[in-house]
Amino acid sequence: MVSVTGTLIWYYYICPREVWLMSRHLNPSQDDPFIEIGRLISKEAYQRERKEVRVENIVIDLLKSSEGEVVVGEVKKSSKYEKSAKMQICYYLMRLKALGILAKGVLLFPKEKKRIEVDLTPEIEEELKNTIADIKAISEKETPPPAKKIKFCAKCGYKEFCWA
* Amino acid in position 55: V
- Binding status of residue 152 toward ligand SF4 by CB under 6 A: yes
Instruction: Please count the other Cβ atoms lying within 10 Å of the Cβ belonging to residue 147.
Output: 16
Per-residue string for binding with ligand SF4, 4-23, x by CB under 6 A?
-----------x-xx--x--
- Binding status of residue 34 toward ligand SF4 by CB under 6 A: no
* Amino acid in position 160: E
- Binding status of residue 158 toward ligand SF4 by CB under 6 A: yes
- Binding status of residue 116 toward ligand SF4 by CB under 6 A: no
> In this chain, which stretch among 53-61, 90-98, 135-143, 145-153 interacts with ligand SF4, using CB under 6 A?
145-153
18, containing H or E segment: helix 16-23
- Binding status of residue 84 toward ligand SF4 by CB under 6 A: no
What are the φ/ψ torsions at residue 45 (nearest 5 degrees)? -75, 145
- Binding status of residue 159 toward ligand SF4 by CB under 6 A: yes
51, containing H or E segment: strand 50-55
| Least distance to ligand SF4, CB of residue 17, Å | 4
| Least distance to ligand SF4, CB of residue 1, Å | 22
Exposure of 157 in the CB half-sphere (CA atoms within 13 A): 19
The DSSP line for 72-113 is EEEE-S-GGGHHHHHHHHHHHHHHHHHTT---EEEEEEGGGT
Closer by beta carbon to ligand SF4, 97 or else 155: 155
From CA 162, how far away is CA 164, in angstroms rounded?
A: 6
| Least distance to ligand SF4, CB of residue 147, Å | 4
Residues making contact with ligand SF4 (CB under 6 A): 15, 17-18, 21, 147-148, 150, 152-153, 156, 158-159, 162
